[in-house]
């Protein structure tokens, strides 16, 4: 938004310069017209003189006026050429500034769209995280119940000493393995006695 405001201010400044130069151009063209009117007035003045006076005076005045007018015309044409060049440059600058404003606005729209997509993804991830935590809590609860049942079943067997404190998973597995081994040995003994 700041970049767009800056570009718009620059564009307004350039357009103001363009208007000022166009106004100056019109003034110069008006002055050139006034010079032509003055020249016509000089011609009209000499029309009232005698033929010889006309010719002499006219030649002198014409030469002087021509020199003056040529100088003025050359200066004004030079100024007009410079102003036309400056007008072209200003119009080009204004066009570039407008293009930059459009580009900046498009970039802002793209950034807003990307921000919305990121926000949507973040919300989806948060929802998924919540679901995962709920599922994890359920699994943990089921695991703890299952572990508690295993411990209860394992240490309720005759000959197994009750645990003195909190058991680790390795200790539970060790107790279960001991029961399994003892039962396997007992079954093997029964088989051996039965075969005899």
Q: Which residue has the higher pLDDT, 46 or 40?
A: 40
Q: Does residue 82 register a pLDDT over 70?
A: yes
Of 49-58, 106-115, 137-146, the one with minimum mean pLDDT is 49-58
Pinpoint the alpha helices (H) of the chain: 2-46, 51-155, 169-195
Mean pLDDT of the chain, nearest integer: 83
Which residues lie below 8 Å from residue 162, measured CB to CB, with a gap of 6+?
155
Percent of the residues in the chain that have a pLDDT greater than 70, as a whole number: 88
Q: What b/e sequence results for 147-173 when a residue is b if at least 16 CB atoms lie within 10 Å of its CB, and e otherwise? A: eeeebeebbeeeeeeeeeeebeeeebe
Q: Does residue 131 register a pLDDT over 90?
A: yes
Q: Which residue has the higher pLDDT, 185 or 195?
A: 185
Question: Minimal CA–CA distance to 11: which of 86, 97, 87?
Answer: 97
Q: Which residue has the higher pLDDT, 173 or 48?
A: 173
Q: Does residue 21 register a pLDDT over 60?
A: yes
Q: Where are the domains of the chain?
A: 8-118, 124-188
Of 38-42, 107-111, 156-160, 168-172, the one with minimum mean pLDDT is 156-160
pLDDT value of residue 51: 64
pLDDT value of residue 155: 72
Percent of the residues in the chain that have a pLDDT greater than 90, as a whole number: 19
- 5-14, 46-55, 105-114, 162-171: which has the highest mean pLDDT? 105-114
């Amino acid at each position: 938004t700041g970049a767009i405001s800056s570009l718009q201010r620059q564009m307004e400044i350039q357009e103001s310069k363009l208007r000022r130069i166009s106004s100056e151009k019109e003034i110069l063209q008006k002055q050139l017209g006034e010079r032509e009117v003055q020249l016509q007035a000089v011609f009209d003045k000499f029309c009232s003189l005698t033929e010889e006076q006309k010719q002499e005076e006219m030649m002198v005045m014409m030469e002087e006026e021509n020199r003056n007018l040529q100088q003025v015309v050359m200066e004004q044409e030079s100024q007009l050429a410079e102003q036309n060049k400056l007008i072209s440059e200003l119009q080009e600058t204004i066009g570039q500034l407008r293009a930059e404003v459009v580009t900046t606005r498009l970039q802002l729209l793209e950034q807003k769209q990307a921000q919305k997509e990121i926000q949507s993804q973040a919300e989806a991830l948060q929802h998924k995280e919540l679901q995962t935590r709920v599922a994890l809590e359920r699994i943990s609860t089921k695991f703890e119940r299952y572990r508690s049942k295993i411990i209860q079943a394992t240490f309720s067997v005759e000959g197994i000493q009750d645990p003195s404190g909190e058991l680790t998973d390795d200790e539970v597995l060790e107790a279960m393995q001991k029961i399994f081994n003892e039962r396997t040995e007992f079954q093997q003994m029964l088989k051996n006695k039965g075969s005899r």
